[in-house]
Structure 1
Amino acid sequence: MTSQKSTQTMKAATAAKKLGVYLEATPAEFQEGVVSRDELNTLQNDPPEWLRELRRTGPHPRPVVAARLGVSISGLARGGVTDALTTEQIEELRDENPEWLERERATQAEVQREAERLKEAPRRPRS
């Protein structure tokens, strides 16, 4: 008796997250379907034009927006950014450099410095 290996699939929302794209901006057939691991790998390694364009111009999901602005997702929310943004909107925010963005970038830099410090610190044995 040999068992058939089933194909792993994921919801479109999970696949969009793994691809770093905003689900609502993907084609309807992508949103309504399921994606197998093989299909996901193909999309990552040889993205179709719609995916390349979406990654290039957006709209981008909040994790991508946060990374491009150099802030945390929480920092975006504190700054009032709750929706997906296009590449153009991200560039405009960078150019305007509002006070909240400067503050959140400084906070993010401090968090990263602290993480590095903790990583480098010698570990104490537990007692």
Structure 2
Amino acid sequence: MSRPNAQSMKPATAAKKLDVYLPATPADFQQNPITRNELAALQADPPQWLIDLRKNGPHPKNLVAAKLGVSIAALARNGVGTALTTEEINELVEENPEWLAVEREGYQQVLREERRLKSLRADQAGDS
């Protein structure tokens, strides 16, 4: 495999920028460096495989966590260590297991506290 130059990136980096799960991408995408121009073209006019991956998954952990309204750590704590498809995410939401309800509430509390602290810091900065 050729080493990416300054104008290209590893497939894992490109997959992250595209918000897709790398092992689910085509082999050609996984095995070759992606140039910035190729990435821009994929973003501007996504091929069918990219459209399908974004719609149906499997989705990377960060998107699974966002769709479920929990943290990535919450997924790990509750045994969700792999990428999930949209269908699997929807099933989890529908089932709403106790761990998901608890983790969602905890995550919302963390977000509320972060907003409170941000507001407090902004107020303090405005007073100085």
- Using structure 1 for the length normalisation, give the TM-score: 0.90
* 1:46 positional shift: 1.1
Correspondence 1:116 to 2:115:
yes
Secondary structure in 2 aligned to 1:80? coil
Q: Which residue of 2 aligns with 1:86?
A: 85
Q: For 2:11 and 2:29, how far apart are their aligned partners in 1?
A: 6
Unmatched tracts of structure 2, length 5 or more = none
Q: For 1:102 and 1:45, how far apart are their aligned partners in 2?
A: 37
Q: Which residue of 1 aligns with 2:9?
A: 10
Query: Percent identical across equivalent pairs?
Result: 59
Q: For 1:41 and 1:83, how far apart are their aligned partners in 2?
A: 28
Between Structure 1 and Structure 2, the one with more helix by share is: 2
Runs of 4+ more than 2 Å apart: none
Secondary structure in 2 aligned to 1:52? helix
Q: Which residue of 2 aligns with 1:76?
A: 75
Query: Residue by residue, what CA displacement relative to the aligned partner does 1:92-122 show, whole Å, maximum 9, x if unpaired?
Result: 0000000110111011101110111011113
Q: Which residue of 2 aligns with 1:40?
A: 39
Secondary structure in 2 aligned to 1:59? coil
* 1:7 positional shift: 5.7
Q: Which residue of 2 aligns with 1:3?
A: none
RMSD of aligned Cα (Å): 1.5
Aligned residues: 120
Q: Which residue of 2 aligns with 1:55?
A: 54
